[in-house]
Amino acid sequence: MDSIGRHILDLSRRGLLRGATGLAALAALAPATRAQPATARFPFTLGVASGDPWPDGFVIWTRLAPEPLQADGDMPPSPVPVAWEVAEDRRFARIAARGTAIAEPGFAHAVHVEVAGLPPGRPWFYRFRAGAHESAVGQARTAPAAGATPARLRFALAGCQHYEHGHFTAWRHIAAEPELDFVFHYGDYIYEYAGRSPGQGGWGPVVRGHLGGETMSLADYRQRYAQYRTDPDLQAAHAAHAFLPSYDDHEVDNNWAGPHSEEDGRGRFPVAVPPEVFALRKAAAFQAWYEHMPVRRAALPRGADITAYRRLDYGRLLRVNVLDTRQFRDDQPCGDGVKRACEEVFRADAQMLGTAQERWLIEGMTGSPARWNILAQQVPMMRREFRDGGIAMDKWDAYPAARQRLLDAMAERRTPNPVILSGDVHVALAATIRRRPEDTASAPVASEFTATSITSEGDGAEMTRAGEELLRRNPDIALFHRRRGYCVGEATARRLAMDFVSLPFVTRDGAPRETAARFVVEAGEAGVKAGGG
């Protein structure tokens, strides 16, 4: 290994050890420096959250952190009991369930309670108590009963929330959206990049800076999640609705793929970070993600491995397959970036989901009882050809064999009404997915909606020259809109409608909510249509 390689390896190891050393020092000093009990100060500074609804319950979450931006939230290295309650009403006059959970220091004093035994298909209220302190009140809805056919279901699609690039006003509007059954967060909940000062160069504007350098250690990732979670608009959205969280690349490292770091020895990075070193970083990132997300124990990471893909049914109206398009994929072909396809793109055994997850997904789409079958995932599946015939090597376009296996399975097994949800690219897109995406005469088999970012890349624009070129080259893409925002979907037995909500600015606070476009998918007719009541 040359001197540059040794330098990168040394930086990786030191970054990962830094947090562990700091936490050990804090634990050693804590008994001598802290006289107050753990709950003497208000500990619920990061708010509350719920997620992964089932017909009989959901997960409720909080984390104790009196000083959230300090190491380990400035909590002592000891377990703390946390009481919780779920009620039928916001005043908690009619308690439906209660208990006590233990906030463990090994998980940053985060609490995950899997509430069960509740009636289906209705709203519930929850709260936590530690010592004399009481948390904010959160609200969540249980899923409809297994055999039920609800008249409608409403949900939001959002992600890509770079803290530095703008205010989280979109989350304030999502919090106010009425009767959402869930919010699918497709990923990029945090960004791993080092903090910048206003006016400093780099990618995107700096409205407010990240704390610290690039996230490498568990302590780094915990602080970054805590900084994002202190935002009141994000807290309000979590308190208002149940989330289905997933992750994309920035929860770990930009454009990571399977065992490969972005620094994979190709493209802009001629020296690779060894997979065994990157595995340490992934383990820290996955633990911090689990600690801060309202997910079930099934998602508890095992070092650098995590099972985040899962399936949730909303009666017979909606089946949601939450996918993981990062952990099991092959490295990006052709050295990543946007370029014309090289020979590597056309590998017949190319993997985006991995064999186990792909088999699980196809089995779940075969004979599904749901009217609508949602593939809730991260990167666009639609065909996107750019100038000079280039494709994005980080998206499904660079893994056509993997995409074709799914589209063939949908068509051959007659999956009812497949709808793909995606994000990652910081533009709003609506597209018809054909069985052979490169052939505009091929039959449509699915529809796709891509949400723009919450803040990433700043204010944006309604249209760009690149957007006009994209629409010209790709007739199956019906919408390009580059403002910030999110999507709100409504499913009924007849149709699934998607509103593309836009904010005119995020580099200053207070942007109004605007509807940029509306598209519908009629049941039994794959493909998107503009408008509709």
Q: The whole model's pTM is what?
A: 0.92
What is the pLDDT confidence band of residue 492, given thresholds at 50, 70 and 90? very high
pLDDT in tens, 276-287: 999 999 999 999
Work out the average pLDDT over 435-440: 95
Tell me: pLDDT of 16 over 60: no
Work out the average pLDDT over 329-350: 97
Kindly report the average pLDDT of the chain as a whole number: 92
Tell me: pLDDT of 242 over 50: yes
- Among the listed ranges 20-24, 38-42, 270-274, which one has the minimum average pLDDT value? 20-24
Tokens 């490292």 belong to residue: 253
pLDDT in tens, 56-82: 999 999 999 999 999 999 999 999 999
Tell me: pLDDT of 23 over 50: no
Instruction: State how far the Cα of 208 lies from the Cα of 357, in Å rounded to an integer.
Output: 38
Tell me: pLDDT of 312 over 50: yes
Tell me: pLDDT of 27 over 50: no
pLDDT for res 233? 98
Question: Beta-carbon neighbour count of residue 439 at 10 Å?
Answer: 10
Please give the structure tokens belonging to residue 381.
């599946």
pLDDT for res 36? 43
* 3-class secondary-structure state, position 428: strand
What is the pLDDT confidence band of residue 3, given thresholds at 50, 70 and 90? very low
Tell me: pLDDT of 4 over 60: no
Work out the average pLDDT over 339-366: 97
Tell me: pLDDT of 11 over 80: no
pLDDT in tens, 221-241: 999 999 999 999 999 999 999
pLDDT in tens, 155-200: 999 999 999 999 999 999 999 999 999 999 999 999 999 999 988 8
Tell me: pLDDT of 29 over 90: no
pLDDT in tens, 248-273: 999 999 999 999 999 877 766 777 89
Please give the structure tokens belonging to residue 482.
């580059």
The full set of domains in the chain, from first to last, is 48-141 (2.60.40.380), 153-530 (3.60.21.70)
pLDDT in tens, 445-463: 999 999 999 999 999 999 9
pLDDT for res 263? 86
pLDDT for res 31? 36
Mode of pairing for the β-strands spanning 153-158 and 182-185: parallel
What is the pLDDT confidence band of residue 100, given thresholds at 50, 70 and 90? very high
* 3-class secondary-structure state, position 502: strand
Instruction: State how far the Cα of 332 lies from the Cα of 356, in Å rounded to an integer.
Output: 20
Distances in whole angstroms, Cα of residue 71 to Cα of each of 18, 22, 57, 232, 497: 12, 8, 33, 21, 45
pLDDT in tens, 517-532: 999 999 999 999 998 6
Tell me: pLDDT of 381 over 80: yes
pLDDT for res 265? 73
pLDDT for res 532? 66
Tokens 């807290």 belong to residue: 235
- Among the listed ranges 25-29, 315-319, 325-329, which one has the minimum average pLDDT value? 25-29
Nearest one of 245, 242, 232 to 292, comparing CA atoms: 245
Tell me: pLDDT of 14 over 60: no
